[in-house]
Structure 1
Amino acid sequence: MNDTPGLALARATLAAQPFSALLGTRLTAFGDGAATLELDIREELLQQYGYVHGGVLAYAADNALTFAAGSAGGARPVTAGFTIDYLRPATGTLLRAEARVVRAGRTRVVCRCDLYAVDDEGNRSLCAAAQGSIAVSAPGEAAGPAA
């Protein structure tokens, strides 16, 4: 999955997102209906109790879901909607979002994402789970859900 021809293009797409660049997000796996994003947990991403802010978890899930859909061959994927369940506080040194396609249709792709907080020793703790619907369009069509 890590050495797919589309990995370089997917990484360039991620790098072109100013917010992702601000957070320092990395695409570590891409292909065959799956994608993994990682970002370092740092003080600026925490809420008042010292846990990773829920908005950061939601961002990671949203992007991982969309990249997983894109890896399944969906052109111009954009999130149509997603839900997230926060399971436990995210603490550690790394946030990892692992997404995979559940079903790829012609115009919608349904994906799931597990979010893990990873500590210095590499121990993973499942902190959130998300599921989303990703709209895909053919080249030349407007991207995104129909209005």
Structure 2
Amino acid sequence: MSTEPAVLDLELARKALESQPFSQLLQARLTEFGDGAATLELDIRPELHQQNGFVHGGVLAYAADNALTFAAGAALGPSVLTSGFSIQYVRPAQGVTLVARAEVVTAGRRQAVIRADLVVVDEEGAEKLCAVAQGTVLTV
């Protein structure tokens, strides 16, 4: 019996994301995955806004959490859970697409520390940083 962790590729990672009902609700998609990194995207729709017309902070936190966890999964294998993360909101998020890019900072056998930058993309394709997150993910 092998003790090597199972390996995820982009196709399997997408299937894992698609199996999450909340991710389906937000229509999130995994656009990059591998080598300790992951990119999660979602189209910004009016129902994802808060009362002032900005993307709700909960949507940003969701994107950060999932991007962090998928990046860790690319390094540690598929059986991982976020044990905690913090997020700093840099500016209100307005645009057409939210992109969360996460990368493993350091990983051991049982845990990884990951950083994520969240940007919004406007109609012309320009990106603006709107939040930064860091978290710890553990194998289960």
Task: Give the alignment's TM-score, normalised by structure 2.
Answer: 0.93
- TM-superposition CA deviations, 1:7-53 (whole Å, max 9, x none): 10000000000000110000000000100000000000000000000
The AA in structure 2 aligned to 1:32 is D
Aligned residue number for residue 77 of structure 1: 80
Runs of at least 4 residues off by over 3 Å: none
Where does structure 1 lack aligned partners over 5 or more consecutive residues?
Answer: 137-142
Q: Secondary structure at the match of 2:55?
A: coil
Query: Match of 2:88, as an amino acid?
Result: D
Deviates more, 1:65-74 or 1:112-121: 65-74
| Alpha-carbon shift at residue 75 of structure 1 (Å) | 3.9
- 1:1-147 superposed matches below 5 A: 6-136=9-139, 143=140
Q: Paired residues, what number?
A: 134
Q: Percent identity?
A: 63
8 A contact 2:76–2:109 mirrored in 1? no
User: What letter matches 1:49 in structure 2?
Assistant: N
CA distance in 1, matches of 2:106, 2:18: 27
Q: CA deviation at 1:107?
A: 1.1
1-structure distance, mates of 2:29, 2:114: 19
Asked whether the equivalents of residues 98 and 120 of structure 2 are also in contact (C-alpha less than 8 Å), the reply is yes
State the AA in 2 paired with 1:66: T
Q: 1:106: how far off?
A: 1.4
What RMSD in Å do the two structures reach over aligned CA positions?
A: 1.2
Q: Report the alpha carbon displacement of residue 73 of structure 1 after superposing the two structures with TM.
A: 3.2
